[in-house]
Amino acid sequence: MRLFSRCLRVSQRFCLIISLLICLPSAHVLASDPVTGTRVVVASNSIIASEVGALMIEQGGNAIDAAVATGFALAVTHPSAGNLGGGGFMVIRLADGSFVANDHREIAPAKATRDMFVNSEGEMIPDLSTQTHLSAGVPGTVAGLIDALERHGSLSLAEVMAPAIALAEDGFVLSEELARTMNRHIERFSRFPAGKAKFTKDGTPYDAGDLWRQPHLAATLKRIAKDGKAGFYAGATADLIVAEMARGGGLISHDDLASYESVWREPVQARYGEYAIHAMPPPSSGGVLLIQMLNMLAESNLVETGHNSTATAHAMIEAERRAYADRATHLGDPDFHDVPVAKLIDPDYAAERFADFDLKRATPSTEVKAGTWHEGQDTTHISVIDAAGNAVAYTTTINLSYGSGIVVEGAGFLLNNEMDDFAAAPDVPNAFGLLGNDANAIVPAKRMLSSMTPTIITNDDEGFIFVTGSPGGSTIITTVLQVVLNVIEHGMSPREAVAAPRFHHQWQPDRIVHERDAFDEAVIEALKAMGHEAFSPIPERWGGIGCANSAVSISGKLEGFPDPRRDTGAAGM
């Protein structure tokens, strides 16, 4: 009866979809194949969430409505990264051709301190910044999604949230991958009663095919749908968050929650050949590094050297090495640190940084320092395009898979562990091995640096709009770089560009991480001969590097491309 009454408030097609998702084994509804649409396409890490987004068009919505509805649905159907308790970045192309970006990255609580995660010797205290209540920054997702909806959407908050509420309250069938990842983290969840109650059946693991209901999360979603941001940052939900902090020694207060605001920023933009790149500015490092690396590679003639050849891989690795060195020194929250964005994305600066590039020799990372001058693993991505030309690249995260693993008792959502993305101390690596310095030091109310790289590429002469992004921690930026180069330089279709094997280098540690089919043995041996010494094939259980769910519009033809590496799905209408 509850499901029937809710269905009366949404379309008949949505009723059918929800009924199927609740009643059928997931294998019947999950797919990672590309889809087409005449009105909208949505690609995300959850076929259920993608369908929710696409159905907003039937309600009279646009791509922004679809992205927001998908984002809230992912908090229900993709809990390892979809969230209410995290944050994200959204790059939006509006139908008139203008671009905006919403920053709803988490912030450090008012009681946070510079050295809160290190001992007296300046060494990281194990797990403190990743597995405890102290690891949580003030969440931004709810504020950001609502602000995007109110400024650029056309539906009400209640309308876009109705599907997520139904999925949380009435449940959905667990896929094999979701059941497996949940069970892999049972020990983490079971440290506290709320996590054990949410992710197990009275201590017994869930199985694929089980119906998973989340009543506390449904109640939280209802408060947001009714009261907007006040339904999360004040009232009952805020009380539950602060009570959770008190139980576990966390820092987030009522004042921290009440004062949180998302920020509208100008995307970083640049030309690469005939294409325009529009990406997220700081506190994301992704857009800056993407453009910086493209600038370094502009003269490398990758078309001639070919995809993942020795020469192509060598050039890309050397560009990545230099860009990530700059990241460690120069990137941070622009509201607290003067980030030299214009300098970093200047083609002339890229030429200076790449001037010592040797065609035949790797540059050891110990020899690569950040540029100087005188002044003068879990996240999720959504790509949406509608027929009017609105497009959204939205990347959201709670940092590591399932965040801190701590569920807010009575509220049903996980806390992020984004405080680990600050530089806890100079040159001390975080969970992804990334280094940082004063630009990314912990300061109250400051946003931590991120690698999230939601990106939109356009070529107005060809009616081309390409939306992409990825999860993957430090590998996000290089994943997006490779997808972009695959389309622009290597002439791949968007589907081929997303599926092509990937590799990654981030300056420190000095090693090449790669999918097992990224290079043949001859290329690996040739790279070793050039001085690239350390190679790390990723474990097969990871599924691959990144998950670049993408969408494209070519002269009005819409297609969505979920990444085949994971349990993803696209929907079209």
Q: Nearest-CA neighbor of 49 among 136, 143, 145, 137?
A: 145
Classified as helix, coil or strand, 278 is strand
Q: Nearest-CA neighbor of 313 among 550, 515, 538?
A: 515
Classified as helix, coil or strand, 451 is coil
The Cα 35–Cα 53 span in angstroms is: 14
Quote helix, strand, coil % in the chain, to nearest 5: 40, 20, 40
User: Around Cβ 126, how many Cβ atoms within 10 Å?
Assistant: 9
**325 backbone dihedrals φ, ψ, rounded to 5°:** -65, -40
Which of the residues 379, 468, 475, 478 is marked catalytic? 379
Note if 379 is an active site residue. yes
The Cα 567–Cα 569 span in angstroms is: 7
Classified as helix, coil or strand, 249 is coil
The single-letter DSSP state of residue 17 is H
The Cα 382–Cα 365 span in angstroms is: 34
The Cα 243–Cα 254 span in angstroms is: 10
- According to DSSP, the β-strands at 464-468 and 172-173 are unpaired
Amino acid at 294: L
User: Around Cβ 360, how many Cβ atoms within 10 Å?
Assistant: 9
User: Around Cβ 388, how many Cβ atoms within 10 Å?
Assistant: 14
> Residues 88, 74: contact at Cβ < 8 Å?
no
Amino acid at 113: T
> Residues 512, 535: contact at Cβ < 8 Å?
yes
With vertex at residue 35, the alpha carbon angle to CA 32 and CA 40, rounded to the nearest 5 degrees, is 125
Dihedral sign for Cα atoms in the order 276, 279, 281, 284: negative
The Cα 547–Cα 564 span in angstroms is: 8
Contacts of 496 (CB under 8 A, 6+ apart): 486
The Cα 494–Cα 488 span in angstroms is: 10
- According to DSSP, the β-strands at 379-386 and 275-279 are unpaired
Classified as helix, coil or strand, 179 is helix
Classified as helix, coil or strand, 522 is helix
The Cα 527–Cα 62 span in angstroms is: 47
The Cα 74–Cα 48 span in angstroms is: 8
Classified as helix, coil or strand, 105 is coil
Q: Which two tokens stand for residue 110?
A: 């008012």
The residue written with tokens 């003269």 in the block is: 299
The catalytic site residues sit at 379
